[in-house]
Amino acid sequence: MKRNIYGLTSALLGALASTAVLASGFQLQEQSASGLGVAYSGMAAAAQDGSTVFWNPAGMSQLGGSGFAVAAEYIIPSFKFTDAGSAFSALGSGGDGGVSSLVPAVYGYTTMTPQLALGLAVNAPFGLSTDWDSQWAGMFYGIKSKVETVNINPALSWKVNQFLSLGGGVSYQRLRATLTQGVTPLNPSVQGRIDGDAWRWGWNLGALADFGQGTTLGATYRSAISYTITGNLGFNNAALAAQASSIKAGLRLPQTFSFGLSQKLTPQLRLLADYTKTDWDTISTLTITATSGPATGFPVSVTPLNFKNSWRAGAGLEDQVDPQWLLRAGAAYDSAPVQDTYRNPRLPDNDRTWLAVGARFEPYAGCDIDVGYAHLWVKNGPSELANAGPPFPDSLNGTYRASVNVLGLQASFKF
């Protein structure tokens, strides 16, 4: 009996490990309502409010004075699964796994000298929340997943000359995860749960070149962040209490490169465009090690993930229709790092197409109110998961259908 219980524990750890990475593989673009209206196109060159502290700290040199911005994006996803012969298809298709989430952000900056500006961003660059029915065909791969990050990012901008500005910063970032799943088909009500977190450091650089005639180019780089996540495994069944343990896992979130263009087409009309690359291929295999319990010091799971690099490209327009109102529209295409063979119910991710609209209203000098809305069409994603055991054979075959709506609101102040 002890060997069987240990096998269940090991299988649970393996599945939770892989889905933790899948969840954190969702890189949140939702960092400002002012960017939402153009589908976050050209953010490396936009330099339009305090959110530039995160998008490209070199852009602070274009703002002048001091200011701050408070933003919130409300993400409304829908994930539905159509079964096609899974091992436990009789348990159902899981309902809608999407969980709506609020993503807040705060930005501030101040000009210290004509050449130097200092800023601070507090935001959430990665995160996802999914919650399937407690009993469903994929319950042994995932039920509930919640992955959150908090990023504290002070930054500095240096205006080298009228043409070039440089910027850089450091990030102190926390990752926290809660993950649950079924343990055995003999008792589908039994669930295992992992809670884990870690704080780690990263850094970022940016450059902004003003060519005159309304043409600005921006480039940014954000470093990879290597986590050693520590946490605990527990069960909702007293019979498995002795198998509760502590665990650790290494996880390296990817580096990103972004290039942006801001081009004035007329005195009222601005074009924004960007290309961004994220190097997810650093995540190929995840090893989970027990730090207590019967397997202390040994790997309890080695999970192949084989993430691929992803990219996004977008373009948008801003139209200053009168002194108080600015209108926005934009579109973008996002490729996903998840490959079909490894797609998991914790993140049934696939390539996405964005269409967005937004507006800015200036009620009085020094105050801007931004609103935005975007709809994301997500490409249908096949599920091809299979596990021959131990402790029991399982498979999850079918198709995920997903879509996302995003609402954004932001208030910016300058003084």
Cα gap 85→69, rounded to integer Å: 50
- Classify 2-414 by CATH class: mainly beta
Q: Any idea where the domains of the chain sit in the sequence? A: 2-414
- What CA–CA distance (Å, rounded) separates 31 from 28? 7
Whether 24 has a pLDDT exceeding 60, the answer reads: no
Percent over 90 (pLDDT), the chain: 74
The reported pTM is 0.90
Q: Count Cβ atoms below 10 Å from residue 358 Cβ, excluding itself.
A: 25
Q: Which pLDDT band holds residue 79 (cuts at 50, 70, 90)?
A: very high
Per-residue pLDDT of 164-193, as tens digits, reads: 999 999 999 999 988 888 889 999 999 988
* pLDDT confidence tier of residue 25, bands split at 50, 70 and 90: very low
Each residue of 88-103: pLDDT tens digit? 999 999 999 999 999 9
Taking residues 358-373, what's their average pLDDT? Answer: 97
Structure tokens that stand for 207 in this block: 């450059």
Residue 298, pLDDT > 80, answer no
pLDDT at 123 > cutoff 70: yes
